[in-house]
Amino acid sequence: MAGRCAGPSASTGGVALGAGEAAAGDDAPSSPLSVQRGRAPPGAGDPVGSQAPLPPAAVPRPLLVPPAAGGRPISLEMATGLRKLLFGDVSHRFSCEWASAHFRFHQPCSDLAYALEAEKGETRAILMAVQAHVIAYLLFVRNTRHTHLERLRRVSGQEQGEALAAALADTLWAAAAAGGGGGRRVVVCLLAAAAHIVPRGDYEADSFTERIQLFEFSEKAAAQEFIFDHINCFKGEGSHGVILFLYSLLFSRTLERVQEDLDCTATPLLEFSFGNITCTQAVLSLLLTGRAGPHELDGSREQGSSSGAGDAWRQRGPVGYLCCGGGPVGWQASPGLRTPRLPVWLCGLAGRHGVLFGTDSQLLSDWKRERVFHLHFYSGRARAAHLTIDTHSHPWEEAHSEGPSSPGNRRPLVEMAIRSKWAGASVSWNGTEPFF
């Protein structure tokens, strides 16, 4: 039986907040975080239902926050600002696919226990960007002496929730921190049972934006704990978890700064393509760099730009970006994103996305480790690939002067993305049939 989503709690780093009660029935071992707070881990008894978004009255209680939880309700002005940034028009709404999207892991303690399910769909880019941060946390951030794939396969349901909370909090904090300045704050959006605003004019209600409750934090640790306490509000069926995270990201950055990142253009963050609503490069940039600049990923922003982000693309973040196809010929991710601090990359492959990662924390800090090494690729589907990269076995290949996107290069897109980082490298799929 699932516990209530929120209850009385002391304020930690923000407004008076509700902490979720423990859910009974989870037999996963307690983590230091749950032991410290002296209660069973949240996340058990996730609501199960149809894929279609549920009407407000039918949403299970663990997905909602009560009025006593604190925070502040969304205003019509805020909701209108969100619509204009996302769609360019207040009358547009999310599709049913977006509304039903949430953060759902594969079975705990399995080959893909570390992985979010994202087989296909319009929200795949966001899910895979969060996936990259989840892997970075599980391998390199949490307390561990060993980083190897087997540890990822032993992840429990408790650890899945902790990793998701850490990934979301890290991304929100980066958005709040980008650009410097004081007054840094993270905003977490959850759903309340009742609507806070009455639509007017061209604004059309969508049954969940009008029920948003905003919680502010001045410390990342407090935001991460709050998200963990309410993790079902992001990964439960019918939670609108992906949209809640996207809203939280925009409010953490602030709508004004997002518009500045876009160079004051009217270009929306989401675009309609063949009847689908997909993320633009600006959204990917916001997820990876904390800024929504349309040119942050390729580093084409000139030094000394008005936003003060002239050299931002040169900086090394914890998670990187590799790409192949879907852009101008010869387009590559910026140097800072191709060489992140940790060997984890979101991969943009002709409009689709996956995650490439290694388990050697020193891979990108010791050139000798880049001679022959191993990477793993996960595309959101029910499989992953183990790749062996050899950067010295075929040095004559560079003489062909073919870029990774050359028309004469017929390699799989994953290999072409890898070669955008390690030119001339050979890639072995170790018996797996190449995909993507």
pLDDT tens per residue, range 207-244: 999 999 999 999 999 999 999 999 999 999 999 999 99
* Chain segment 395-407, per-residue pLDDT in tens: 445 444 455 445 4
What pLDDT shows up at residue 435?
79
pLDDT at residue 203 tops 60:
yes
Share of the chain above pLDDT 90, in %: 60
Calculate mean pLDDT across residues 11-35. Answer: 35
- Higher pLDDT pick, 310 / 436: 436
Lowest mean pLDDT among 15-19, 37-41, 89-93, 286-290: 15-19
**Measured between alpha carbons, how far is residue 114 from residues 39, 96, 138, 223 in Å?**
24, 26, 8, 22
**Measured between alpha carbons, how far is residue 154 from residues 110, 345, 380 in Å?**
7, 22, 19
Position 151 confidence tier, pLDDT thresholds 50, 70, 90: confident
* Chain segment 100-109, per-residue pLDDT in tens: 999 999 999 9
Dist. CA 166–CA 136, nearest whole Å: 10
Position 182 confidence tier, pLDDT thresholds 50, 70, 90: low
User: Beta strand pairing status for 344-349 and 320-324?
Assistant: parallel
**In the 3-class helix/strand/coil scheme, how is the chain assigned residue by residue?**
CCCCCCCCCCCCCECCCCCCCCCCCCCCCCCHHHHHHCCCCCCCCCCCCCCCCCCHHHCCHHHEECHHHCCEECCHHHHHHHHHHHHCCCCCCCCHHHHHCCCCECCCCCCCCCCECCCCCCCHHHHHHHHHHHHHHHHHHCCCCCCCHHHHHCCCHHHHHHHHHHHHHHHHHHHHHCCCCCCCCEEEEEEECCCCCCCCCCCCCCCCHHHEEEEEECCHHHHHHHHHHCCHHHHCCCCCHHHHHHHHHHHHHCHHHHHHHCCCCCCCCEEEECCEEEECHHHHHHHHHCCCCCCCCCCCCCCCCCCCCCCHHHCCCCCEEEEECCCCCCCCCCHHHHCCCCCEEEEEECCEEEEEECCCCCCCCCHHHHCEEEEEEECCCCCEEEEEEECCCCHHHHHHCCCCCCCCCCCCHHHHHHHCCCCCCEEECCCCCCCC
What pLDDT shows up at residue 264?
67
Cα dihedral sign, 204-210-216-222: negative
pLDDT at residue 417 tops 70:
yes
pLDDT at residue 10 tops 50:
no
* Chain segment 107-119, per-residue pLDDT in tens: 999 999 999 999 7
Cβ atoms of residues 37 and 154 within 8 Å: no
pLDDT at residue 38 tops 70:
no
Dist. CA 426–CA 436, nearest whole Å: 17
What pLDDT shows up at residue 293?
84
What pLDDT shows up at residue 303?
40
What pLDDT shows up at residue 238?
93
Dist. CA 252–CA 217, nearest whole Å: 10
Average pLDDT, the chain: 81
* Chain segment 351-361, per-residue pLDDT in tens: 899 999 999 99
pLDDT at residue 42 tops 60:
no
* Chain segment 239-272, per-residue pLDDT in tens: 999 999 999 999 999 999 999 999 866 789 999 9
Calculate mean pLDDT across residues 332-339. Answer: 86
What pLDDT shows up at residue 179?
61
